[in-house]
Amino acid sequence: MKKIFIILAIILPLSVVHAMTLGELFSKDDAPKKIQLPKFSVVDMNGKVHNNDTVKGKYLVVNFWATWCPPCLREIPAFVDFYDKHSDTVEILGMDYEQASIEKITEFTESFMVSYPIILSNNKNRAEFEKFGKVVGMPTTYIYTPDGTLINHYMGEVSMKTLEEAIR
């Protein structure tokens, strides 16, 4: 009998915790929370500042990438084409997630004819990178509406079709 009370004393509180947690997760009264663009300010390779004010009114695509990342290399041409086609309504920030020299990144981006701003991971920008969220895989892309609401985020290669659908 004592064993049953001990087991119930352990299991009962755990079941209540799970019920409350699941209830909170699946409550129909709660509207989905919208994630907003964080306050940020980064400086691109050309010295131009990009922040909430400079991207206001445009879709924002924040793409974390690295030169050593094969899926990143495959998606860059789609990002270039997408930016060239939609630069009047879309801003792309290519966030280079490696610590590399400006010379190396310049040579790399020129070989891909990258036309959108590239942000280096340096002392000025690194803290700003983290404001978008933890990057656990490459590439990682966040897409925001013109009012700053997160549409979606992707880990892995993003296609032109995915980018086009995001801004419809």
Of residues 134 and 65, more confidently modeled: 65
**7 neighbors 16 (Cβ within 8 angstroms):** no
Per-residue pLDDT tens for 59-114?
999 999 999 999 999 999 999 999 999 999 999 999 999 989 999 999 999 999 99
Question: Is 67 in contact with 101 (CB distance < 8 Å)?
Answer: no
Residue 11: pLDDT over 60: no
3-state secondary structure of 150: strand
Residue ranges covered by each domain of the chain: 1-30, 41-166
Give yes or no for residue 5 having a pLDDT over 50: no
Tell me the β-bridge partners of 92. Answer: 61
Write out pLDDT tens, residues 24-42: 444 455 556 789 999 999 9
Instruction: Measure the CA–CA gap between 113 and 51, rounded to whole angstroms.
Output: 24
Q: Determine whether domain 41-166 maps to CATH 3.40.30.10.
A: yes
pLDDT confidence of residue 134? 86
Report residue 20's pLDDT band, with 50, 70 and 90 as the boundaries. Answer: very low
Residues 6+ apart with CB under 8 A from 82: 61, 90, 92, 160, 163, 164
Cβ neighbour number for residue 168 with a 10 Å cutoff:
4
Residue 60 near residue 95 (C-beta atoms within 8 A): no
pLDDT of residue 4: 54
d(CA 166, CA 39): 22
pTM: 0.80
